Amino acid sequence: MHIMSTDRTSYKIRGKWDTTVGRKVVMAASGLLLIGYLIIHLAANLMVFAGDGGRLLNRYSYTLHQLGPLLWIARILLATFFLSHIISGIRVVIQNRRARSSRYAMAASKGGPSKMTVASRWMAITGLILLVFVPTHVWMFTLGPYYETVIDGVPMRDIYRLVVERFKNPVTAFSYAAVMLFLCLHLAHGFWSALQSLGALNRKWLPIAYTVGIVLGVLIAGGFFVLPIYTYFFIPMP
Amino acid sequence: MKFHLKIWRQAGPDQPGRFEEYTVDNIVPEMSFLEMLDQLNEELIREGKEPIAFESDCREGICGACGLVINGMAHGPKRGCTTCELRMREFPDGAHITVEPFRADAFPVIKDLVVDRSALDRIIAAGGYISVNTGSAPDANAIPIPKDIAEEAMDAAACIGCGACVAACPNASAALFTAAKVSHLALLPQGHPERERRVIRMVDQMDAEGFGSCSNHGECEAACPKGISIVNIARMRREYIRASTSKAGARAVL
Ligand code: HEM
Ligand code: SF4
Ligand code: FES
């Protein structure tokens, strides 16, 4: 290990995006794109609150499915972001553990400018929770039972009914909401961290991005948190 | 003042280490942490025991040799300060103090509290320089540099290579050190001709040494005795992305 790597080993053999800096660029880019998706997804889900017995949500979902191949392209892209985020994440975590095999007897933060929080320390844990959650979530809704409804004479999937039915189950509703607390932590550190990993921050923008990240995390996760709880208590079964 | 110390003792690089407890008395509050250890060592030598190995050179915060982890903090509890500048008045009388070496696989322990930080030298050797012919010093104002840029470069150049950033980082990453070196040269016109190959080679060397990657915890900046900011890490990443996507960068790898 302690040799001059004059042949640029890691950069040449593993490639520029599989170095300590490169992996974080991949994680950051994919993470930000996933956050972009989460915002669109949340905006769509808030249609559950429309109080129209699901008309708006079902028609939105119907329009999406009319896109056909475009929808599939979007799904494949999302899966690619998700996988590259996870793969580089696992590599980052493994390398980091290897870098310090003997632990400190005592470890303390010096505070001040440090950005270390539960959120930053728990990225791998909150990430793993999301890794379990996301496939379960797709299986529950997208791959769930197919109810049909007719809106304005057009037969379509009644996804609204499925959402309300799922969240009338207290175990589903409350565990879903609990996962959102972890999402909140992941985003609270993830947003500013991604911008920092992409080299987008400087003395002026770093503190702004840090605060925006926390606000964004609370808003996005908060939206997804309220949804199952509100549905459980206040939305009648259609 | 009196202190109860728990100090890491390790006979050699591949030997197992353990903590040993010592009590020191008659410590003057103005003594530096290293002077306190000197006093303890004198007592140990008088008793015919092996003194505690620790490193120091300038004892005025400029050489970067003296790093220790004191109560879990690199260079001890005071910010903007090296171990040699830390005074015993920072601790309450009778305090229990734990002293460990910097821990990182890239910094193997040589003995007791002394670690081998030459991995940092190899990162510099990989690209942390500009190639110029030596000769008489050029005229100071031959190349005009805006004051804010000069200040930013000077702030980055203040790094003394102590390795506290690595010690404090939960991932044992050398990102702040490497970024400080990449930054101070990338900011100045003299550093521009070699900027692509510099950042690629230095990052590559950092990886070859087995340092971790930066998770943006910011613990490094908190521990850095020179207050080097993590905005330098963002700049290093910009430089890296720039080099990795440009023709000059591709040539640099060959
Ligand atoms: C909704 C899904 C997710 C979103 C929106 C998301 C977003 C992000 C963002 C923006 C970052 C910051 C990247 C950086 O600092 O460069 C990040 C970091 C991280 N993510 Fe995710 N993530 C998601 C899912 C996951 C999953 C499923 C895992 C893994 C099993 C994961 C593991 C991690 C880890 C370990 C980090 C920290 C990397 C480090 O230590 O530097 N994430 N995430
Ligand atoms: S960046 Fe700061 S902590 Fe790291 S080596 Fe330089 S002076 Fe020491
Ligand atoms: S001995 Fe030189 S910096 Fe402490």
Predicted pLDDT at A1: 41
Q: Which of B74, B79, B204 sits opposite A5 (nearest CB)?
A: B204
Measured in degrees and rounded to the nearest 5, phi and psi for residue A220 equal -65, -55
- Alpha carbons B65 and B102: distance in angstroms, whole number: 12
- Alpha carbons B56 and B60: distance in angstroms, whole number: 10
Which ligand number lies closest to the CA of residue B67?
Answer: 3
Measured in degrees and rounded to the nearest 5, phi and psi for residue A149 equal -145, 165
Q: Which of B77, B219, B238 sits opposite A199 (nearest CB)?
A: B238
Q: Which of A9, A95, A115 sits opposite B213 (nearest CB)?
A: A95
pLDDT in tens, B67-91: 999 999 999 999 999 999 999 999 9
β-strand partners of B7: B20, B99
**Closest residue CA from atom 31 of ligand 1:** A127
First to last CA, chain A: 65
Q: How many CB atoms lie within 10 A of CB A222?
A: 15
- pTM equals 0.94
Residue ranges, comma separated, of all CATH 1.10.1060.10 domains in chain B are 118-253
Judge if the beta carbon of residue B82 lies within 6 A of ligand 3: yes
Task: Please give the number of the atom of ligand 2 that sits closest to the Cα of B180.
Answer: 1
Domain ranges for chain A, please list them.
Answer: 26-234
Q: What percent of chain B has pLDDT over 70?
A: 99
- Alpha carbons A35 and A192: distance in angstroms, whole number: 12
Instruction: Give the containing element (helix H, strand E) for A81.
Output: helix A69-99
Instruction: Say whether A23 and B205 touch across the interface (CB within 8 A).
Output: no
CATH homologous superfamily for the domain B118-253 = Alpha-helical ferredoxin (1.10.1060.10)
- Alpha carbons B27 and A213: distance in angstroms, whole number: 47
Mean pLDDT value across chain B: 95
Cα-to-centroid distance, A130 and ligand 1 (Å): 9
Chain B CB contacts of A207 under 8 Å are none
Instruction: Say whether B71 and A12 touch across the interface (CB within 8 A).
Output: no
pLDDT in tens, B234-254: 999 999 999 999 887 777 665
| Strand B96-100 to B3-9 pairing | parallel
Q: How many CB atoms lie within 10 A of CB B74?
A: 30
DSSP track, A51-68: -STTHHHHHHHHHHHHTT
Predicted pLDDT at B254: 56
Mutate which of B224, B230, B231 to test ligand 2's pocket (most atoms within 8 Å of Cβ)? B224
**What Rg do the C-alpha atoms of chain A give, in angstroms?**
21
Closest chain B residue to the Cα of A116, Cα to Cα: B217
DSSP track, B213-242: ------HHHHH-TT---THHHHHHHHHHHH
Closest chain B residue to the Cα of A200, Cα to Cα: B234
Instruction: Say whether A2 and B122 touch across the interface (CB within 8 A).
Output: yes
**Closest residue CA from atom 29 of ligand 1:** A127
Predicted pLDDT at A5: 46
- Alpha carbons A197 and A85: distance in angstroms, whole number: 13
> What stretches in chain A show pLDDT beneath 70?
1-10, 12-13
Place B99 in a pLDDT band, splitting at 50, 70 and 90. very high
Predicted pLDDT at A9: 59
Instruction: Say whether A104 and B103 touch across the interface (CB within 8 A).
Output: yes
First to last CA, chain B: 60
pLDDT in tens, B198-227: 999 999 999 999 999 999 999 999 999 999
| Strand B3-9 to A148-151 pairing | unpaired
Cα-to-centroid distance, A192 and ligand 2 (Å): 23
**B103 CA: distance to closest CA in chain A (Å):** 7
pLDDT surpasses 90 at B25? yes
CA A25, distance to chain mean position in Å, is: 17
Tokens in use for A172? 């589903």
**B131 CA: distance to closest CA in chain A (Å):** 17
Cα-to-centroid distance, B58 and ligand 3 (Å): 5
Domain A26-234 belongs in CATH node 1.20.1300.10: yes
- Position B199, amino acid: V
Residue of B78, B206, B216, B244 to mutate when probing chain A, most A C-beta within 10 A: B216
Predicted pLDDT at B135: 82
**B138 CA: distance to closest CA in chain A (Å):** 31
Sheet harboring B18-24: ordered strands across? B18-24, B3-9, B96-100, B69-70, B73-74
pLDDT surpasses 90 at B136? no
- Alpha carbons A20 and B214: distance in angstroms, whole number: 7
Instruction: Count interface pairs A-B at CB distance under 8 A.
Output: 190
| CATH top class, domain B3-111 | alpha beta
Mutate which of B35, B78, B84 to test ligand 3's pocket (most atoms within 8 Å of Cβ)? B84
B240 lies within 8 A of chain A by CB: yes
Q: How many CB atoms lie within 10 A of CB A216?
A: 20
Predicted pLDDT at B142: 87
DSSP, collapsed to helix, strand or coil, labels residue B13 as: coil
Predicted pLDDT at B83: 98
Residue ranges, comma separated, of all CATH 3.10.20.30 domains in chain B are 3-111
- Alpha carbons B98 and A97: distance in angstroms, whole number: 23
Instruction: Say whether A199 and B240 touch across the interface (CB within 8 A).
Output: yes
C-alpha distances out from residue B79 to B190, B215, B221, Å: 32, 21, 10
